[in-house]
Amino acid sequence: MNRTGSDGTLPHRPDVLMPAFPRIATARLVLRAFAVADAPAVQRLAGVREVADQTLLPHPYADGMAEAWIESRRAAHECGEATDLAIERVLDGTLVGAIGLAFEPGRARAKLGYWVGAPFWGRGYATEAAAAVVTYGFETCALERIWAPRFRGNAASARVLEKIGFAHEGCRRRFVAERARAETVEQHGYLRWEYYARVAQCGFTCEPGAF
């Protein structure tokens, strides 16, 4: 697999400019760049206590936070720091959550993070979106490793990661300032060779032409 992007850049390096935001299509979703028009939906969905409680999202989610965060995502992508995408439902264009990769400086590794609004839980959207972003990470960004942390109590996230091929690697206790409490943080990881072995065995990848 070529380690460069279509324009010759190295997407996992923070010292080079990234190409345009990806637009990833799956069976039911489109993963795309955020727009300022998404801010009200982001604030409404991310501001729910049940969503914030299992993430590092701020709570309460005050006015102006969504706009500022969306504005910061373009700069983060362009400098190779992170790529964060809106999860949009194809059926009606509804924003259901967010997903992204945070790239480690100078290394072909990234952290996967995501959240889905409470009204859309239990429908497999997180699994569908995460599988697509993992494919993007390994096949387009040429990453060697993708990892994902979660709070121990977030069993739904554990199921998502297990379904798409991540292995549980361990845990550690830490004080989470954003939640003002101690948490056991579980870590899951996925290696490049594991991903391609899975694809070869069962074809577990995004639909052709997704990128």
DSSP character for 123?
S
What are the pLDDT digits (tens) for 49-72? 899 888 888 888 999 999 999 999
Average pLDDT over every residue of 19-23: 85
Phi, psi of 7 (to 5 degrees): -105, 10
Is the pLDDT reported for residue 133 higher than 70?
yes
User: What average pLDDT does the chain have?
Assistant: 88
**When comparing pLDDT for 106 and 161, which is higher?**
161
Q: Which pTM was predicted?
A: 0.86
Phi, psi of 88 (to 5 degrees): -115, 135
Is the pLDDT reported for residue 166 higher than 90?
yes
Percent of the chain with pLDDT over 70: 87
What are the pLDDT digits (tens) for 29-50? 999 999 999 999 999 999 998 9
The whole-number pLDDT of residue 135 equals 96
d(CA 195, CA 190): 7
State the angle between helix axes of 39-46 and 65-78 in degrees (0 to 180), rounded to the nearest 10. 110
Average pLDDT over every residue of 96-117: 96
d(CA 14, CA 109): 12
Task: For residue 211, name the pLDDT band (cuts at 50, 70, 90).
Answer: very low
Is the pLDDT reported for residue 16 higher than 70?
no
Asked if residue 40 lies in contact with residue 61, where contact means CB atoms within 8 angstroms, the answer is: no
Q: Which domains does the chain have, with CATH numbers?
A: 24-148 (3.40.630.30)
Is the pLDDT reported for residue 136 higher than 80?
yes
Asked if residue 191 lies in contact with residue 144, where contact means CB atoms within 8 angstroms, the answer is: yes
The whole-number pLDDT of residue 1 equals 34
Is the pLDDT reported for residue 13 higher than 90?
no
Largest CA distance in the chain: 48
